[in-house]
Structure 1
Amino acid sequence: MKTYIYILLSILLFISCGDYLDLYSRSAIPPEAVTEGDLPALRIGMYNFVQNKPGVRAYMMHDILGGGIQTNTGSARDLINTTLSPLNTYIQGGWDGYFNALYQVNTVVEVTDRFSSAQSQMIKGEALYFRAYIYFCLATRWGGVPILEKNTLEKVSRNSMEEVWAFIDRDLALATELLTDAPKSYYYVSKDAAIALRARAALSSGDYPNAAKYAESLITKGKYKLDSFDKIFRKRANDEIIFAFENRTEESSINISDLYYTYDHPNRGQGVYRPTDAVVALFADEDKRKEMTLVNIGGRITINKYESGQTGRDPVIISRIAELYLISAEAQGLGNGIGRLNELRIFRGLAPVSAANSQEYLDLILEERVRELIGENFMYHDYVRAGVAVEKLGILPHQVLHPIPGRELQNNPNLTPNPGY
């Protein structure tokens, strides 16, 4: 079966529907017909697929399942149980979206392998980063998933978690060799973005020495430093963001703000989700993050990190240096890591802390990660990888993984379901 790639997708986003219909048939071409002159359009199309195909709730799922946000009806626990179903629309949509994006990314890898220019190799580095990013998202939801280095129509089986972590690390190591250290802006993947993701993946896989090494390499580099939330989350020049997706149009599907802000806000919104009382209670008045993290709209507290409301033009931050402080603090452990934790706390207006033992220290780390990263999609995976999800969230042991969507199990008999579903 002939496969095609839509190399002009990025261009189509900025033209009228009539022009879209005129161009659509000419934008679908087989990968072997792509020329080196097509690479810039191919590149931007890849960014668009990776950003948008998983859907907006993919950027909220770890906060939903981590008990950080809930809907207006029912508890956070009810929302977790409702979501973790093989028939849930958002579970299926996330799975479909990530593999759809992976198809585009793999095609870019295939195309760039045919060229040797600096431009083509840089784009290949971006594609390898994105493939690692996609697999990180898949692994932290479904566990061991099929590793697809090339696009295929075969009914593939699942790989082990260990194999997926090794694949992610390999792609990021290759990406680091190919990527530039100085992109035009943090809306483009850089060598540092690959190192930041490598640190995150190392922490998740239990490779603490490398997690600390990669995190420290960025902290001590001098290029990044902790910055104020009003700069980070209001699209002002800042020294903290390493990589973010840029929402260029209102038609972008990644409109997180619309699901947080209510219609009472000047920018309007649906107000589907709000932070739980437990999250709100974590923020002391002296915490400099509080005002930009939480806002009272008509008597209701909601997440304030995304300001656009219905227009949906907020960047989606993937990596920033504060996360690297927390990775280093956790990976180094109580003896050496608490200094990094307290550096972050003091910068954010809080007093330093101490811990009597490793478990108490881990609790401090996880709590600080909520304060720093709520609304940025970390909570559920943080609790799962730390081994405390069942205790903290009141979930059943099998709910530390998402269910494989029922449709996928029907269509591919070589896939096995996650236990308990």
Structure 2
Amino acid sequence: MKNILKYTAIVLGLLQLSSCGEDFLNTEPITELTDESFYSTENQIYTALIGCYDGLQVATGTSGDSGVSFYAASEVMSDDCFGGVGNADGYNYQAIDEFDGSRAPSYSNLFNDTWVSYYGAIHRCNVLINRIDQVDWTGNEDTRNQYLGEARFIRAYLYFEMARLWGGIPLLTEPSSENLPRSSAEEVYAVIAEDLVYAANNMPDISYDTVPNGRVTRWAAKSLLARVYLFYTGYYGQSNLVGMVSQAQALEHLEDVIQGSGHSLVPEFKDLWPAASTTESGTTYAGEDNPEVVFSVKYTFTSDYNGNTDGNHWMVMFGLRNLDHFPYGRGWGITVNPKLYNLYDENDTRRDASVISIEEEEIDFGSDLLLDQREYTGYTNKKYTPMSAYDEEGNLNSAAELLGATNFQIGQFQDYTVIRYADVLLMAAELGSASAQAYFDQVRQRAYGDNFSPLSATPNNIMIERHKEFALEGIRYWDLLRQGIGVAANEIAENTTVLSGNVETNKQISASQIQETQGLSQIPNTQITLSDGVLTQNPGW
């Protein structure tokens, strides 16, 4: 009976949470209706907007031999994770981790599916943006501005991820098959800024919780605009965002979110994450649409091998290597650097909510599993790990498969939280808000509870707090880069011992290699070949 009750409490609860926003975001777009005559009614524009969200879902959820997700790359390139995976696998993730393409012969094409899926999603946005005024919006301008703001946000979000991965890229703002060279970073960021400024200024000024789950709000646009400002000005050493957004303006947008959005912190940090909030007795998970989520990419378990790509395909990379251990599900074993676990004070609740400590949690990761694991450290990702649950017979299995997923590899359903309200608070503190200390304290008070003690909100302390707060959320690497390539290289550089195949091996990451690549990733070789050399490669690759 205990196992049946556990199954009911956990798996059915997760099913309910994972279906939020399903009617909007999981409707397959009518992709064959893309000629000019299609964009003639509000309903058709709405269908096209669903297609933009679907493109975002596919692009960001991608994973495989030639499609590494932005999230997975962000974590593996940071100082928080090692490439890990199976001891007999190829060294693709080590090539990413060590900024060294020679580690894996196939690395030259590792991001090809990523590149293709991002441009596919951008094409959908471009078509909608350029054809939205084929509809007569007289008397319904607010709906037009909402739809256009959403599409422009999605395009900006996609270009921002691509620009951080690759720097200058071919820039398309309308449907085209032209063979374009790489635009400058400044040109790409100008489009990103224009899109986000439009969305921030023209979308409805309403509380976030009045918007259907999973939809972009003006608060998401304002928050992302500040993130773009911080990265661009930091990495490129500029005083403003391409002459369009100043520090004061970026801060003003964040203050608007704080004062007017309705967003707030979830009281307990662990309740932000399904695995961290789940125990034998049940779950206290706050849900995927809790008040702290400013924007997330929605996923469900319904992916299959027949064209449906609704799942979070990258999350399996972060699961315990080939091991189900309630509530954690099996995966492919990207590992966490012990330095992250040791960064936290023992009174900081974020440590045990962020990182799985195999020894502390008494997980039996035996010798047969160690033989199969590369770069074992004893630590893995708890925020984004597959889940397991008990079926009615008391057998432990993949929660995704118990919900009806084709398999655990493509059926992971946890949303990716892009921006949390805690990030809004810490960005505002960093940008010099008059309330910086109060914002900083809010984040730390939740983390420490009764053990909270004040700490001055200095720039250095804010960056340290960002590391602790957003570890394993795809943010740390970019926070390092925006402090300067030298800072990033020194923090990421590594010379330590790990277990590979249960044998002690040396793990090295060279600071000079990171500096040579300027922290950028390799442009897929297939794309350079298809462009007849119009595209050029990034340095160091």
Shorter-chain TM-score bucket reads: 0.7 to 0.9
Tell me the SS of whatever aligns to 2:219.
helix
* Contact 1:142–1:401 (Cα < 8 Å) also in 2: yes
Distance (Å, rounded) in 2 between the aligned partners of 1:84 and 1:240: 38
* Contact 2:223–2:257 (Cα < 8 Å) also in 1: yes
Which residue of the partner structure matches residue 281 of structure 1? 342
Q: Does 1:398 align with 2:516?
A: yes
CA deviation string 1:20-77 (max 9, x = no partner): xxxx8x8444243234232333222221111222415222221110121123369997
CA deviation string 1:105-137 (max 9, x = no partner): 111212323222443432211100001111111
Q: Does 1:248 align with 2:300?
A: yes
Q: How does 1:9-408 map to 2 (within 5 A)?
A: 10-12=26-28, 27-36=32-41, 37-54=43-60, 55-56=62-63, 57-72=69-84, 79-81=96-98, 87-115=107-135, 116=137, 117=140, 118-180=142-204, 181-182=206-207, 183-206=210-233, 207=240, 208-221=247-260, 223-227=262-266, 228-234=268-274, 236=286, 238-251=290-303, 252-262=310-320, 263-266=323-326, 268-297=329-358, 298=363, 300-306=378-384, 308-309=386-387, 310=398, 311=400, 312-332=412-432, 337-349=436-448, 350-354=452-456, 361-387=458-484, 388-394=487-493, 395=511, 396=513, 397-399=515-517, 400-408=519-527
Letter aligned with residue 258 of structure 2: I
Kindly name which structure, 1 or 2, has the bigger radius of gyration based on alpha carbons. Answer: 2
* Contact 1:9–1:27 (Cα < 8 Å) also in 2: no
Letter aligned with residue 370 of structure 1: H
Distance (Å, rounded) in 2 between the aligned partners of 1:120 and 1:222: 21
> Which residues of structure 1 form unaligned runs of 5+?
1-7, 14-23, 356-360
- Cα gap change, 1:184/1:383 in structure 2, threshold over 3 Å: closer, same or farther? same
- Cα gap change, 1:83/1:106 in structure 2, threshold over 3 Å: closer, same or farther? farther
Q: State, as a whole percentage, how many aligned pairs show the same letter.
A: 22
Distance (Å, rounded) in 2 between the aligned partners of 1:77 and 1:352: 40
Which residue of the partner structure matches residue 18 of structure 1? none
> What's the Cα RMSD here?
3.0
Give the TM-score normalised by the residue count of structure 1.
Answer: 0.84
Cα shift at 1:211: 3.0
Tell me the SS of whatever aligns to 1:279.
helix
CA deviation string 1:171-202 (max 9, x = no partner): 11111233233443441101111111111111
Distance (Å, rounded) in 1 between the aligned partners of 2:254 and 2:314: 28
Tell me the SS of whatever aligns to 1:38.
helix
- Cα gap change, 1:256/1:155 in structure 2, threshold over 3 Å: closer, same or farther? closer
* Contact 1:256–1:306 (Cα < 8 Å) also in 2: no
Distance (Å, rounded) in 2 between the aligned partners of 1:366 and 1:337: 13
- Cα gap change, 1:363/1:209 in structure 2, threshold over 3 Å: closer, same or farther? same
Letter aligned with residue 64 of structure 1: V
* Contact 1:330–1:337 (Cα < 8 Å) also in 2: yes
Distance (Å, rounded) in 1 between the aligned partners of 2:118 and 2:162: 7
Cα shift at 1:156: 1.0
Distance (Å, rounded) in 1 between the aligned partners of 2:27 and 2:439: 44
Tell me the SS of whatever aligns to 1:60.
helix
* Contact 2:300–2:312 (Cα < 8 Å) also in 1: no
Cα shift at 1:264: 2.6
- Cα gap change, 1:93/1:365 in structure 2, threshold over 3 Å: closer, same or farther? farther
* Contact 2:430–2:459 (Cα < 8 Å) also in 1: yes
* Contact 2:317–2:334 (Cα < 8 Å) also in 1: yes
- Cα gap change, 1:88/1:186 in structure 2, threshold over 3 Å: closer, same or farther? farther
Q: How many residues align?
A: 397
Which residue of the partner structure matches residue 19 of structure 1? none
CA deviation string 1:218-277 (max 9, x = no partner): 223361222233332245253211111221334134244422222232352214212111
> Which residues of structure 2 form unaligned runs of 5+?
1-23, 64-68, 234-239, 241-246, 275-284, 304-309, 366-377, 388-397, 401-411, 494-510
Tell me the SS of whatever aligns to 2:330.
coil
Cα shift at 1:398: 2.8
Tell me the SS of whatever aligns to 1:113.
helix
